[in-house]
Chains A and B, each alone.
Chain A
Amino acid sequence: MRLIVENLACRRSGRRIFSGLSFTLGPGEALMITGRNGAGKSSLLAMLSGRLKPDAGTIRGEDIGDAGLPECLHVVGHRDGLKSALTAQENLDFARDLLGDAQLTPGEALAAMGLPHVARLPVGYLSAGQRRRVALARLLVCRRPLWLLDEPTAALDLASQDVLAAMMGRHRAEGGLVVAATHQALGLEDARELRIGPATAEQVLDERIEESWA
């Protein structure tokens, strides 16, 4: 698939966070989104995943058939989408049935993340890093071409970061796309970087005038 973003703008609580953002991502390509805290990295990922309405601009996917863009992507972020009361196995089984297009079984995916022993443990008992690895195992149980990762290495140990880098490499070799918001190098080879800069003072001023007239 191809991901095409044109002239995207984001507004949170009435304040313009960024505007005029454009990029195109083809098969096998990766994009690292960087920027200071509060620059709008997570908001950009939320808009790509369809959870947040863009203030302006368009987001399109090409070569994805009849499916909508939200049905072609995986999201792993700070809110990991795991239920603490359910076991890792149950969480992954649910994701597999809900998202469709199954690939690995939950047991195999957990083994690939180096966590075969937690399958029967409630996720609430796991450490932050283990929880994150269970969430990342979701990338493997269903096949989806676009991965949206929000600081995927947070709480991960060095060995798991290598596992993740290898996973992303394999995904890209199969023609998948990776968009990651991050502060550190992720081991993504020849990834492009998109730096979300601060809105210029002039822009902010314009906004204020606009709003005071509105």
Chain B
Amino acid sequence: MMRAFSALLARDLRLAARVGGSGALSLVFFLMIVVMVPFALGPDLNLLSRIGPAILWLAAVLATLIGLDRLFQSDEEDGSLDLMTGAAVPLELVVLAKVTAYWLTTGLPLALSAPLFGLLVALSPTAMGATALTLLIGTPALAFIGAVGAALTATIRRGGLILAIVVLPLMIPTLIFGVSATEAALGGTVPFTTPLAVLGALSLIAGVIGTLAAAASLRWSE
């Protein structure tokens, strides 16, 4: 069972690194949004640093959507999904491996690069650390919620827009607690760990429900 899991994980990571894979794309998209904001708002450093964590989180939510439509669709199109249905492991494990690979190529780089991109929106060192930590804990929730939408739209041609409309509302709680945890770290009446714990809980819940729901919708895609 572990062998199949690691084979799936290695394959998706390898595909993301090859030509045509979406490996670095979402990171570049993330950078683009963060770079655009100071141009739009003007050089008001106080304003930027106040809304900086919110901008980084919003950019992370949007960047997660890049490449999400291909998560299951590319396997559905070329018949790899038929192969995975016949695997010696349950489809839930297949989904778990694919979403983990997806998170490793999108969510994790976003979280790790957040301190660097925080410089562009004049974040304080504390805010940089807090944003990176909340993104690290919160982006798995985004990936698993997105996987449900990706599985539902796997057989729809040009399903990317429908996917975004379906999953974005479901990502709102994660966004709220991600930003509020970051702001709690910078002072305020709420202790840092309270929203952070909720954020962690959201990721765990999304991990369970997202895996089961995506596998169920892939199993009977017609």
Chain A residues close to B by CB (< 8 Å): 12, 49-53, 67, 70-71, 73-75, 77-86, 90, 93-95, 97-101
- Please state if A81 and B11 are interface contacts (CB–CB under 8 Å): no
- Please state if B79 and A80 are interface contacts (CB–CB under 8 Å): yes
Chain B residues close to A by CB (< 8 Å): 3-4, 6-8, 11, 14-15, 18-21, 77-89, 220-222
| B15 CB contacts on chain A under 8 angstroms | 83, 85-86
- Please state if A85 and B4 are interface contacts (CB–CB under 8 Å): no
Known: A97-B7, A98-B7. A82 touches B85 (CB 8 A): no
A51 to B20, CA, bound (A): 28
- Please state if A85 and B79 are interface contacts (CB–CB under 8 Å): no
| A67 CB contacts on chain B under 8 angstroms | 88
Known: A85-B18, A90-B14. A75 touches B7 (CB 8 A): no
A83 to B8, CA, bound (A): 13
| A97 CB contacts on chain B under 8 angstroms | 3-4, 6-7
- Please state if B8 and A53 are interface contacts (CB–CB under 8 Å): no
| A73 CB contacts on chain B under 8 angstroms | 86
- Please state if B82 and A51 are interface contacts (CB–CB under 8 Å): yes
DSSP class of B's interface residues: helix, strand, loop or mixed?
helix
Instruction: Report how many A-B pairs have Cβ atoms within 8 Å.
Output: 83
- Please state if A75 and B82 are interface contacts (CB–CB under 8 Å): yes
A73 to B4, CA, bound (A): 17
A139 to B144, CA, bound (A): 33
DSSP class of A's interface residues: helix, strand, loop or mixed?
loop
10 A-B residue pairs with Cβ-Cβ distance under 8 Å, sorted by A, are A53-B220, A70-B85, A71-B86, A93-B7, A94-B7, A94-B11, A98-B4, A98-B8, A98-B84, A101-B88
- Please state if B20 and A81 are interface contacts (CB–CB under 8 Å): no
A86 to B3, CA, bound (A): 19
Known: A71-B86, A97-B4, A98-B7. A53 touches B222 (CB 8 A): yes
Give B217 Cβ to nearest chain A Cβ, in Å: 13
Contacts A12-B222, A75-B79 known; 14 new A-B pairs at CB < 8 A: A51-B85, A53-B220, A81-B79, A81-B82, A83-B11, A83-B78, A86-B18, A94-B8, A97-B4, A98-B4, A98-B87, A99-B83, A99-B87, A101-B88
Question: Which of B4, B8, B80, B82 has the largest count of A CB atoms less than 10 A from its CB?
Answer: B82
Q: Which residue on B lies nearest to A101, using beta carbons?
A: B88
- Please state if A86 and B11 are interface contacts (CB–CB under 8 Å): yes
A85 to B13, CA, bound (A): 12
A20 to B86, CA, bound (A): 26
Q: Which residue on A lies nearest to B4, using beta carbons?
A: A98
A94 to B11, CA, bound (A): 7
A50 to B15, CA, bound (A): 27
- Please state if A100 and B82 are interface contacts (CB–CB under 8 Å): no
Q: Which residue on A lies nearest to B89, using beta carbons?
A: A98
Known: A81-B78, A85-B21. A71 touches B88 (CB 8 A): yes
A82 to B15, CA, bound (A): 12
- Please state if A81 and B14 are interface contacts (CB–CB under 8 Å): no
Give B152 Cβ to nearest chain A Cβ, in Å: 17
| A70 CB contacts on chain B under 8 angstroms | 85-86
A53 to B14, CA, bound (A): 33
| A71 CB contacts on chain B under 8 angstroms | 86-88
Known: A81-B79, A85-B15. A49 touches B88 (CB 8 A): no
| B89 CB contacts on chain A under 8 angstroms | 98
- Please state if B88 and A99 are interface contacts (CB–CB under 8 Å): yes
Q: Which residue on B lies nearest to A122, using beta carbons?
A: B18
Q: Which residue on A lies nearest to B74, using beta carbons?
A: A83
Q: 4 tightest CB-CB pairs across the interface, nearest first?
A: A79-B79, A97-B7, A100-B88, A81-B79
